[in-house]
Amino acid sequence: MPTEIIKTVKPSGGDYSSLSAWEAGEQGDLPTLDEIHTAECYSMQDTIAVIINGWDTSAIRYLKVYTPASERHDGKWNTGKYYLDITSGHALDIYETDAHVEGIQIDGNGTNLTNYVIRATRNKISYCISKDAGTSGYYTDPLTTQFWNDIAFDCNGAGFYLGSGGYFYNCTAKDNAGIGFQRFGGTPTLKNCLSDNVGADYSGAMTVSYCASGDATADDNGGAGNRINQTFTFVNEAGDDFHLASGDAGAKDYGVDLSADPDLAFSDDIDGQTRSGTWDIGADEYVTGFYQQALTGGLIFSGGLSKKTKKGLTGGLTFTGGLSKKTSRNLTGGLTFVGDILKSLRVKKNLTGELIFAGSLSTIKKQFKSLAGSLSFTGSLASVHTVGTGMMLRRIGNWIAQGVRRWYY
């Protein structure tokens, strides 16, 4: 198994202060080294264009450029997270095979050339946002490159400029001055793509299925499930938030399930939310009840919670109904369950305040970095797996447990 060498790119306190310097410092022959080289990019404005060139890679000894979840955009353009801000030339120019780019934002400021240039095979570009490129949002020439859950918007040229082939699944091209998906060579394969632009939405010979267009071009090449002349409704189109609104009738529930696709299989959207049911077209999957932003001021559910909250939550969380899923970030202000917990409870980060269970809970699993308040159970608790180990135990203030059957330390 290759060893993964992770280096951070941060505005301060990191291994590197720009992605370009990481590339210069880490380039090498990865198959010989038996290594994967990863750049972990943290929230910052990175103003130096990047060329990935001079590497040797293989399918399992690749290079990866990505943002961890806490540093990644929230499915829409976000300058509070990591982004490349480039005014001239290509922003990210990949000459080598096996580069995996995940969760990167690029702003071309309308003056650069292209934001993403992919010149070699087996590259993977996912969860990325390309904004205001001088020409194309994404330019790709190789046969087997895979794109999924990517967005291009406000570019001066094409959103996606496609040569030779490749797979483009659940990508969104919006408000680009040129063509949304423009083929200049080969036969690219498009599935579940959404295109609504100033120029035409699709142009050239491509294999297109379950795609949608604002104009009449989505079915120009035939194919199943394509939808033309659609009106798309987004959460905040004027603010470049292209999450599908609940009332969307152009893309929501008109895609095809690609979780077992033989060429490119995945099962989530640009936010990392699991796609379920009939998939939506475009980079976003509309999910009922999913709250994406940090929430200040408390949250009370009198009828239970069926999905999850992904960001910080300040001000308390009270369930008088049950809980079937999880909360995954910081939780400040206490957590009270009056109903039953149907799944294991997982709070990945800190919990400040009280944790009270009045209902029953099947398991607590891998949950707290720290618990500053007390933990009490007035209902039953079947088992505790890891909460009572090491430092975490010492941080717990006051335990009141009634009906606890087993403790695991």
Query: Residues interacting with another protein, by CB under 8 A?
Result: 7-12, 14-18, 20-21, 24-25, 27-29, 48, 51, 53-56, 89-90, 93, 95-96, 113-114, 117, 139, 141, 161, 163, 184
Tokens of 323: 């809980």
- Could you give phi then psi for residue 405, rounded to 5 degrees? -95, -40
3-state secondary structure of 384: strand
Least Å from the CB of residue 309 to another protein: 33
Least Å from the CB of residue 185 to another protein: 8
Is residue 379 within 8 A of residue 400, CB to CB? The reply is: no
Rounded CA gap, 111 and 107, in Å?
A: 10
Cα–Cα nearest to 268, from 360, 148, 395, 115:
148
Least Å from the CB of residue 217 to another protein: 21
Least Å from the CB of residue 161 to another protein: 8
DSSP 237: G
Our CB check for another protein shows the closer of 91 and 299 to be 91
Region of 180 please: left (phi>0), alpha (psi -120 to 50) or beta. alpha
Rounded CA gap, 76 and 78, in Å?
A: 6
Is residue 255 within 8 A of residue 280, CB to CB? The reply is: yes
3-state secondary structure of 292: coil
DSSP 339: S
- At position 218, the amino acid (one-letter code) is A
Least Å from the CB of residue 203 to another protein: 15
Tokens of 178: 């040129």
Our CB check for another protein shows the closer of 8 and 207 to be 8
Our CB check for another protein shows the closer of 184 and 266 to be 184
Region of 282 please: left (phi>0), alpha (psi -120 to 50) or beta. left
Least Å from the CB of residue 160 to another protein: 14
Our CB check for another protein shows the closer of 187 and 380 to be 187
- Reported residue count of the chain is 409
**Are β-strands 234-236 and 241-244 bridged in parallel, bridged antiparallel, or unpaired?**
antiparallel
Rounded CA gap, 380 and 405, in Å?
A: 8
Our CB check for another protein shows the closer of 133 and 218 to be 133
Our CB check for another protein shows the closer of 95 and 291 to be 95
The β-bridge partners of 106 are: 84, 130
Least Å from the CB of residue 336 to another protein: 43
Rounded CA gap, 164 and 147, in Å?
A: 14
Rounded CA gap, 2 and 18, in Å?
A: 25
Our CB check for another protein shows the closer of 48 and 198 to be 48
3-state secondary structure of 44: coil
Our CB check for another protein shows the closer of 119 and 308 to be 119
> Which helix (H) or strand (E) segment is 19 a member of?
helix 19-26
Least Å from the CB of residue 79 to another protein: 19
Least Å from the CB of residue 27 to another protein: 6
Least Å from the CB of residue 247 to another protein: 40
Tokens of 75: 């499915």
